[in-house]
Amino acid sequence: MNPHPADAQSPRQPSQSAQAAQADPAAAPRIGFVSLGCPKALVDSERILSRLRAEGYQTSSSYAGADLVIVNTCGFIDDAVRESLDAIGEALHQNGRVLVTGCLGARSDPQGDNLVRKVHPKVLAVTGPQATEEVLGHVHASLPKPHDPFVDLLPPGGLKLTPRHYAYLKISEGCNQSCSFCIIPGMRGKLVSRPIGEVLDEAQALLRAGVRELLVVSQDTAAYGSDLKYRTGFWQGRPLRTRFAELVRALAALADEHDAWVRLHYIYPYPHVDEVLPLMAQGRILPYLDVPLQHAHAQVLRRMRRPAGGERALERIAAWRQACPQIAIRSTFIAGFPGETDEEFETLLDFVRRAEIDRVGCFAYSPVQGAAANELPGALPDALREARRERFMQVAEQVSVQRLRRRVGQELQVLVDSASRSGAVARSYAEAPEIDGKVLVAAPERASARMRLAQSGGQFLRVRVVGTQGHDLLAQML
Ligand code: SF4
């Protein structure tokens, strides 16, 4: 360390390096920088200045031209301390908005009070040395950053692989369940929920960029926030608990504001899911729940290490339909799980009929390397697993088509995925992209209506359902 004041920049003027970094853009906030102390302190100054510059801040060579002044101090010998305190005093006098960093910032007086704060109580904040992130945080709090170098070269909603009108919003990573057929917790770890403010920022950016439908996804969406003990976060200065229902309410408010849809995927039937049903009944989020139930027989669910049984799932579904009669329920199941008896499989078929699941997916069980289910006795032959999957899908499709037929005659709002003058492929609240059926909108007779249809890609349309075709609905434009 070289504590000699000769190494320091003059406290009378913000530093040479700041001047060198200065550029023109008039509107950007300007920061004055006084760099004192040894070469290590100088490197700290360079790091802070580089980050500030990358974020779009300009530097000022005069106190008068600066919106804020940072003083990087030295605290090694008495002369250096005196010089640093003088520099802070001068910056306060000349400018008034001062952040202090560096070695002196870490020093206390004999009573244990921070030395800088004691002498200069009006400074905005004080940090110690090597505190680039802390200093940046204090700068952001006092002088909002002009842009973020990590995201501002991107479109507002980020780079998306989905069409422009819908986007997936991932709210957490990992999973706290331990389903015996699944290796996701081993691969991706335990549940880690994203901060609620960050999720809502992303949702808002997507909606502002023109997204019309947000698809909320994770491994276990309704468990959101449980890993954080539902701690209170912040969004736009408002406290908000990191919790599924609070997040969905906030997303509903954003969707109202932007005339957009919110669709929920991978919802396990926890009791607190009921809290979002009123939002569905009011049409503020889509009345659609994607609930991966996997099976209905209690013994199979136990071997799968899944909570809840078929009867409880039936009760939940009945309660949801009572709260929101139009709700569409999607689920996925596994046929031919190790040890699945004829009777257990029949229970599954019976469940799908009774639950009247609207949209169903089914996999024939297939062992995944590393999954606990591989150790279970009673593995079924491949052909039997596949035969059960086919049988299950026949039953599920009958149910699904019956449910679809009830929708003939309904007027619906649909979101158009693709359109031309000869027709459009769209979806209503009951169809998620890629996994469910579609609403096929016929070309209208009038030329002007055909033109309107052709221009409706990525937009909402009102249609009337006139028939069904397999898993799809046939509709006419209103
Ligand atoms: S199947 Fe889903 S809930 Fe079960 S462990 Fe895997 S990710 Fe978690």
pLDDT of residue 403: 95
User: 385: which 2 tokens?
Assistant: 């697993």
Which two structure tokens, joined as six digits, stand for 304? Answer: 């799968």
Please work out whether the CB of residue 246 comes within 6 Å of at least one atom of ligand 1: no
**For residues 81 and 118, is the Cβ–Cβ distance under 8 A?**
no
> What gap in Å lies between CA 444 and CA 390, rounded to an integer?
38
Q: How far apart are CA 215 and CA 432, in angstroms?
A: 8
Ligand 1 centroid distance, CA of 163 (Å)? 28
**CA–CA dist 145, 31 (Å, integer):** 11
- Pairing label, strands 460-469, 472-477: antiparallel
Number of H helices, E strands in the chain: 14, 20
Distance CA(384)–CA(378), nearest Å, equals 12
- Sign of the alpha-carbon torsion through 161, 289, 269, 280: positive
| Pocket flag, ligand 1, residue 267 (CB < 6 Å) | no
* pTM for the predicted model, two decimal places: 0.71
Q: Strand pairing of 439-442 and 472-477?
A: parallel
Cβ(83)–Cβ(36) below 8 Å: yes
* pLDDT value, residue 149: 66
Measured between alpha carbons, how far is 179 from 160 in angstroms, rounded to an integer?
Answer: 31
Q: Residue 182 Cα, ligand 1 centroid: separation in angstroms?
A: 6
DSSP 214-236: EEEE-SSGGGTTGGGTT-EEEET
Residues forming beta bridges with residue 362, ordered by sequence position: 333
Ligand 1 closest atom vs CA 181 = 1
Residue 42: per-residue pLDDT? 80
List, in sequence order, every residue forming a beta bridge with 173; answer none if it has no partner: 192
Total Cβ atoms within 10 A of residue 198 = 12
Q: Who contacts 353 (Cβ-Cβ below 8 Å, separation ≥6)? A: 395, 399
Please say whether the beta carbons of 29 and 58 come within 8 A.
yes
Burial of 56 (0-12, 13-18, 19+ CB in 10 A): middle
Report the C-alpha gap between 218 and 248 in whole angstroms: 14
219 lines ligand 1 (CB under 6 A): yes
Cβ of 177 closer than 6 Å to ligand 1, yes or no, is yes
Q: Percent of the chain at pLDDT above 90?
A: 66
- What is the pLDDT, as a whole number, of residue 14? 43
CA dist 389 and 374 (Å) reads 19
Cα-Cα-Cα-Cα dihedral sign, residues 443, 444, 450, 455 = negative
Low-confidence ranges of the chain (pLDDT < 50): 1-24
Burial of 176 (0-12, 13-18, 19+ CB in 10 A): middle
| DSSP states of 429-463 | TT--TTTS--EEEEPPSSHHHHHHHHT-TTSEEEE
Question: Of 178, 130, 129, 147, which is closest to residue 58 (Cα–Cα)?
Answer: 147
pLDDT at 45: 87
Closest approach atom of ligand 1 to CA 176? 8
DSSP letter, residue 129: S
> How would you classify the pairing of strands 30-35 and 68-73?
parallel
Is the distance from the beta carbon of residue 222 to the nearest atom of ligand 1 less than 6 Å?
no
- In this predicted structure, what is the pLDDT of residue 7? 32
**Residue 294 Cβ < 6 Å to ligand 1:** no
Question: Distance, CA 436 to ligand 1 centroid (Å)?
Answer: 21
Give start and end residues of each alpha helix (H) in 324-369: 342-355
Residue 137: the pLDDT is 84
CA distance 166 to 407: 24
| Token duo for residue 49 | 């200045």
Q: Is the CB of 175 under 6 A from ligand 1?
A: yes
Residue whose structure tokens are 């106190």 = 63
Do the Cβ atoms of 50 and 42 come closer than 8 Å? no
**Alpha-carbon Rg of the chain, whole angstroms?**
31
Helix H or strand E encompassing 70: strand 68-73
Q: Which pLDDT belongs to residue 156?
A: 67
